[in-house]
Every structure is written in structure tokens, then in C-alpha cells.
Amino acid sequence: MKKQFISTLCLSISLLLFTQCEKPSEKNTNTPTTVAGTPQHSPENFAIVIHGGAGTITKSNMTDERRKAYQEKLQEALDTGYAILARGGNSLEAVQKTINIMEDSPLFNAGKGAVLNSLGKNELDASIMDGKTLNTGAVAGVSGIRNPINAARLVMDSTKHVMLGGKGAEDFARLHGLTFEDASYFITEDRMRQLKRAQDKEKGIETHSVSLNDRLDEGKFGTVGAVAIDKNGTIAAGTSTGGMTNKKYGRIGDTPIIGAGTYANNLTCGISCTGTGEYFIRTLAAHEASNLIQYKKLPLKDALDNVIKQIGDLGGSGGMIGLDKEANIAWSFNTEGMYRGFKKSDHTQSIEFYND
């Protein structure tokens, strides 16, 4: 009896909170909203949302050529994942293959073109999570693996472990036949210049003649991530990154940390983050968003905004993308921009760069 009363009260509060939190859509139909739709997942209701990093480029530095390059690559990534979902494939595969497209492109800070550590090497992190089983896999600080997200998937599928690090993780990936590449495959001239400038700055040397291209992505974050829900209602999320330019001492950021940079749970949502990873770890950003949905009954968008505010209050910056169990999509960021896009089975889609 008491339980029934509590349930009724809880329901009332949830409804009230929901009513209060829900904001009218200020955008066209292509804009992600958090208006909860059908309470049950519809079999044809699938979607994918991606990001290519937050704060990587300022509006004033964007050229038409560069915009076109990002637009095309993000579209290719979205189309890849969407096609898998449309033919009834699972969300894990969609997330993985979508991230592969961005890992293979030098435009982003993941796989080819990832930033360099203080020794001029790539140290890559990635993680992936299955929202149905809560299975997950991650690799931290690996070099040479062409697609770190595939290594994360392999950890999830082929071990009883969640996270493998450094040389051990590389040995494991090699044993299982993952593709390796020489250092030269990963390293781009842009990233070498970026490292040199970071190291010069550390020594007190200021570089005056910096070209537009040189300034791009400087000290910023181009982590990539994807979240998808498939026709069966299973949510998956994944994230892949090269971390921070000039990073030292085996620094590990939020990307390979389940609950920080990546989280998926069919009960709530899937999340992928990008930004100053330390703040996303301290706030357990992805898990926090999921719990705000599960325990505080916040809509997805409000949950993401709440977490980004927590991160901002601590002094951090970055962004998050998410997708809930009704295939609603939302994102939130406190940087000038975040490369992002979504594509849904209701034929809405969008690719956006800035807060407009």
C-alpha cells in the first residue's frame, strides 16, 4: 500500500519534472530533441549520432574547404553506421564501423592523424560498450593498432577483461590478427608542427608566424565517438582518441574509462564524450548522465546539459552526444563548436559544427 503510494508520488514528480524540464523545440525538424516519444521502442526506430571532437576549430578559422572536408567525412561516417542499422545490423557494429571511418581520416584526433605525445609517438585510447549486456572493452595507451576501437571490441568479445593497457594490449591485438601500421601511417605534418609548438611553448618559445592551418586543432580535442540504437532497441556507444598533444608519463584520459568518456545502457541511453578528459573522469560524465535519466527522470537533453554544467563548474570544457532508448538524440557542449551529426530512421538528419 505504502509502495503504491510512493509509486504514485514518484510518477507525479516524474511527470511534473518532465513537464518542467521539457523545452519547446527551437529548431527545425532536423534538430535533435528530447521529447520522449513512444514509451516502447518501435522496431523501425533506429538512429545514430556521432561527434568528431569539441572545440577543435574556432568559427573565425573555418574555411569553406575545411568545412567541406569535415562535412563529407562526417556524412560518410553517418551513412556507414546508418546503412548497417537499416539492414538490421546491430548497434555495436554500426558504432564500430562508423568510428573506423573517422579513425582512418587524418581530420580527427584518432587513429591516423592522432596527436603526438611528448616523445613524438601516438598513444591511442578507445572503448566500446553494449547497452544490452553492459559488456564493455577498452584499450589505453596503445601504439601501432590501426583501429583502436576494434581492439576495444576484441577485448569485450574475446576476454573476461574490460581494459587492457600499453604493450600488453598491443600483444593481445597482434595475437588476434588486428591490423598494425608503422608510425609513419599515423603521423601527419600538422601533428608534428603542433607538437613542436606545444614543446616550444613549454620552453617559453613563442612562435609568431603561425599559419591558419597550423593554428587549427592546436591544444584542442578531436576525439571521435558514435552512439547507435538498432532495430532491436539495443544501444551501443564507442569513443576513440589520441588524447592530448605533448602528453607525458602515460597520461590516460576519459576515452577508455567506462562511465567517463563512454557509456551505454538500454534502460537509459548511450553517451560518448570529448573534451578535457580529466573533468569527464572526475564527474563520471557518461554514467552521471545515464543516472540522471534513470534516477532523476530527466530527459536526455537536460541530463547532458546538467553534466556539462558540472564539468564547466569544475573548470573543464568539452561536449557530449547521446541517444536514449526511444531513439531521441541530444548533445551538449560548452566549447565554441563540436563536430557532430545524426541520422534517424524517421528520415531526419543533420551535421552541425557550431552552436547555431
Q: Which residues bind a copy of itself (CB under 8 A)?
A: 2-3, 5-6, 9-10, 12-13, 16-17, 20, 134-136, 140-141, 159-169, 171-172, 248-253, 257-260, 263, 277-278, 281-284, 287-288, 291-292, 295-296, 314
Strand order through the sheet with 329-333: 262-265, 269-275, 318-324, 329-333
What DSSP element (H or E) covers 166?
Answer: helix 166-175
For residue 196, the minimal CB distance to a copy of itself (Å) is: 21
Indicate which residue of 33, 136, 223, 262 is catalytic. Answer: 223
Residue among 43 and 168 whose Cβ is closer to a copy of itself = 168
For residue 146, what is the DSSP state? S
For residue 253, the minimal CB distance to a copy of itself (Å) is: 8
CA distances from 26 to 22, 29, 36, 122 (A): 12, 10, 16, 41
CA distances from 184 to 103, 111, 222 (A): 15, 12, 20
For residue 72, the minimal CB distance to a copy of itself (Å) is: 35
Q: Is 268 a known active-site residue?
A: no
CB 324 within 8 A of CB 269: yes
- Per the rule left: phi > 0, alpha: psi between -120 and 50, beta: everything else, 94 is alpha
Residue among 248 and 347 whose Cβ is closer to a copy of itself = 248
For residue 39, the minimal CB distance to a copy of itself (Å) is: 21
Residue among 16 and 205 whose Cβ is closer to a copy of itself = 16
Write the burial class of residue 35 (CB in 10 Å: 0-12 exposed, 13-18 middle, 19+ buried): middle
Residue among 3 and 203 whose Cβ is closer to a copy of itself = 3
State the catalytic residues: 223
